[in-house]
Amino acid sequence: MTKLRYELVTERIKSIADERVLEEPFCSYFAKTALFLAMLGEVYIKRKSDELRSLSIEELRELNGRLYADILPENYADSYSNVSFVAGKLKMAGIDTALSAYLSFIAAEMRALIPYAFDGNEEILTIYMELFVEIYCMFTTACEEIRGGVPGSEEIRQCLYWFERDNCEIVVASRIREQIDPSCDNAVRVIMDSDLNDLRYLYLFGEYITENEIKTAAYLNSLSDKEIDDMARTYAEGYRTGFEKTGKDLSKKRTVNIRYPIGFERMIRAAIRRFEDMGLKPIIYRAATLSLNKRGQLRIGYYGAIPNKQYDYDHREDEAIYLDRDYVNRKLDVIRSVYEDNKELARVHAGPAVVEEFGEEPFSPRENPYAPVFSDKQRRLSVEYADKSGRMTNEYIPGDERSFTIIAYPKPCIGRDFEAIFKETVRLNTLDPVKYERMQQLMIDVLDKAGFVRIEGRNGNETELIVALNELKDPEHETNFENCVADVNIPVGEVFTTPKLQGTAGLLHVKQVYLNGLKYVDLRLEFSGGIIEKYSCANFSDEKLNRKYIEDNLLYHHKTLPMGEFAIGTNTTAYRMAREFGIENLLPILIGEKTGPHFAVGDTCYSHEEDLKSYNPDGKAIVARSNDYSDLRDTEPDKAYFHCHTDITIPYEELGGVYAITMEGEQTAIIEDGLFVLEGLEELNVPLKSRM
């Protein structure tokens, strides 16, 4: 049945491209979008016949360029996916600009079908193409009734609402199965079956490919088998060690989710073989593209180049077009139903193994006045949905039975020193953990005697913050801080704890920081009782826009967030590398958090694992695992978690001091004027002094 529907809708779309029934700007809008969908139809045919693999690299590059050209920065100003462009066209024609958000949304949703053409998903291609034809018919009907007539904006919104609500059982269900079912193996087959020396394979994923992906793959191809295997071993062993250190039974698991940026296939292939030796099959799903599955502009899964971050930012809240209580309940019902039907697959899933990349200049978005945005009610619904869906996922894939690992490498856009930075990053990822474990234990011994830690800034950093620590009932056998070397978070090293909220207060300030792909200028978070009381930044001249920027992208629509983690990063070698190559603002959080004290807002590091027992190498139990919010996990679970955790680091050059303070007021300096001053930590200063 789907095959017949697909054939009918694609034929109709081809005819729309040539029709001239509508007046401008709608005639051009529908014709251009129809031509794009017809191109996807051609891709789908080539994919089914395996013709894509026989195309030359020039043909594949040309096709890839045509698929993504419309939203590239140089073309975006005139793209129908740009809501401002559509609004401008409507305003010139004297038409209600409320339609612009819906037309731009439809154009973006059609663009989001690119991966489904490459994956051969006929069902999802069909339903979205049928939506396009339905919207087109609404416009032609209105035009026939009154020459130049246009359907009402609410009529279009209602059509979109019922489409998204009714079809979430197809789209969301497909997404969940991709995340837990190893038979959904399109990406795995490209990685394992392709000749990775023939870079044509890069274009078979359907993601946007640039020189970054090509040069990354070519560079990895230049490395020896041993170098590749060493990288894969560090990555896979970090994952296995994460289970071992927390006492979780990896032998009960059967699948691992590999997330990575395209270009690293040679390393990923070697890692897949290592995971298979552990009894784990790979699950590799791409970052979501359709609004039903996306989480803002975040990319969770495998992905290629980002064609235009402003495009992603403009469409981050497209869900506002159809988000209401009924839709949320419907989506949650679908999620539970799919998990229930696939509960055995979910139960044996072990969690994500993530490869991150860094090197792009930080992105500062522009606010688009016509882009969809959540109302206050929708923000509350979004938070509620995140909480309930997160708890549901944890029910079927228990957090206390899964683990993760994260490692990062540079991309060629980092500059002419790419290869040197890559080699230095590989070295960072394999630093001697024993040496760091010993020095970090010296810090922990002092911190465990303290009731508070005071952190102050310098060189324009105005941080003045007190972090309260939990009281140890049995100091001989308990510790507040985890001695973290290199397992789930690669590279080494840090010591971290869950702060006591009552008594944690003051200002956290960073002059510039890069969080989850977005740049923050002069970020200020004021804490009282361990939660954010005030917040501001200087990204925009309008203070309201600055507040909204933080609310949307750091608070994730919560009214406030607690400090879920306090840590001291000890990887001064990473700091020296960043300074040496001038890439301080390009480091990912994963490495950046190891280059100074950092503070996470949101959940603790032990989210959903509070009741597990874990120990430092000295045998002491790590007991600071929960706070006032996660303590509610059994009695009021809807208040226990925030489903976010964002690390904010103060770099050493902005750090005036870190002091451990006992309940009696005795103060011990750990760091002063950007250097470690605690006895036994002198070796950590060698990389710091080499850059002074």
> Does residue 216 sit within a domain?
yes
Q: Quote the number of domains for the chain.
A: 3
Residue 192: is it exposed, middle or buried by C-beta count within 10 angstroms (0-12/13-18/19+)? middle
Arithmetic mean of pLDDT, 504-518: 90
Arithmetic mean of pLDDT, 221-249: 93
pLDDT, residue 297, reads 81
> Does residue 426 sit within a domain?
no
pLDDT, residue 612, reads 84
Q: Which of 401, 420, 440 is the last residue of a domain?
A: 401
Which is higher by pLDDT, 296 or 34? 34
Q: 660-681: per-residue pLDDT in tens?
A: 999 999 999 999 999 999 999 9
Strand order in the sheet with 482-484: 482-484, 494-497, 563-569, 597-602, 645-649
pLDDT, residue 692, reads 47
Say how far apart CA 251 and CA 229 lie, in whole Å: 23
Whether 382 and 525 map to the same domain: the answer is: no
pLDDT, residue 579, reads 87
Q: 115-128: per-residue pLDDT in tens?
A: 999 999 999 999 99
Whether 72 and 143 map to the same domain: the answer is: yes
Say how far apart CA 485 and CA 433 lie, in whole Å: 6
Whether 680 and 585 map to the same domain: the answer is: yes
If phi over 0 gives left and psi between -120 and 50 gives alpha, with beta otherwise, what is residue 556? left
pLDDT, residue 592, reads 81
Whether 212 and 135 map to the same domain: the answer is: no
> Does residue 410 sit within a domain?
no
Whether 137 and 228 map to the same domain: the answer is: no
| Confidence band for 690, pLDDT divided at 50, 70 and 90 | low
User: Is 203 in contact with 64 (CB distance < 8 Å)?
Assistant: yes
pLDDT, residue 490, reads 86
> Does residue 408 sit within a domain?
no
Whether 133 and 237 map to the same domain: the answer is: no
What range defines the domain where residue 23 resides?
Answer: 2-151
User: Is 437 in contact with 582 (CB distance < 8 Å)?
Assistant: no
Say how far residue 258 (Cα) sits from the centre of its chain.
Answer: 14
Whole-model pTM: value is: 0.89
Helix (H) or strand (E) holding 173: helix 153-180
pLDDT, residue 433, reads 84
| Confidence band for 632, pLDDT divided at 50, 70 and 90 | very high
Say how far apart CA 43 and CA 36 lie, in whole Å: 11
DSSP 216-269: HHHHHHHS-HHHHHHHHHHHHHHHHHHHHHTT--GGG--EEEEE-BTT-HHHHH
> Does residue 160 sit within a domain?
no
Residue position matching structure tokens 């001249």: 541
Q: Which of 401, 423, 445 is the last residue of a domain?
A: 401
Whether 357 and 496 map to the same domain: the answer is: no
Confidence check: pLDDT of 400 > 60: yes
Which own/partner contact pairs does 633-637 have at CB distance under 8 Å and 24+ positions apart?
A: 633/608, 637/391
User: Is 257 in contact with 180 (CB distance < 8 Å)?
Assistant: no
Provide φ and ψ at 178, rounded to 5°: -60, -30
> Does residue 411 sit within a domain?
no
- As a residue count, the chain comes to 692
Q: 548-560: per-residue pLDDT in tens?
A: 999 999 999 999 9
Q: Which of 96, 128, 151 is the last residue of a domain?
A: 151
Q: 272-314: per-residue pLDDT in tens?
A: 999 999 999 999 999 999 999 998 888 999 999 999 999 999 9
pLDDT, residue 15, reads 95
Confidence check: pLDDT of 267 > 70: yes
> Does residue 422 sit within a domain?
no
Whether 483 and 347 map to the same domain: the answer is: no
Confidence check: pLDDT of 587 > 90: no
Say how far apart CA 224 and CA 621 lie, in whole Å: 42
| Confidence band for 443, pLDDT divided at 50, 70 and 90 | very high
Arithmetic mean of pLDDT, 113-140: 97
> Does residue 471 sit within a domain?
yes
Whether 194 and 54 map to the same domain: the answer is: no
The mean-pLDDT minimum among 34-38, 167-171, 607-611 falls in 607-611
Say how far apart CA 107 and CA 479 lie, in whole Å: 55
Average pLDDT over all residues of the chain: 94
Arithmetic mean of pLDDT, 524-533: 98
Q: 652-661: per-residue pLDDT in tens?
A: 889 999 999 9
Closest CA to 346 of 385, 285, 404, 393: 393
| Confidence band for 382, pLDDT divided at 50, 70 and 90 | very high
Whether 380 and 443 map to the same domain: the answer is: no
Whether 193 and 328 map to the same domain: the answer is: yes
The total of other beta-carbon atoms located within 10 Å of residue 343's CB is 14
User: Is 595 in contact with 408 (CB distance < 8 Å)?
Assistant: no
Sign of dihedral through CA atoms 185, 187, 191, 196? positive
Say how far apart CA 514 and CA 512 lie, in whole Å: 7
Whether 29 and 93 map to the same domain: the answer is: yes
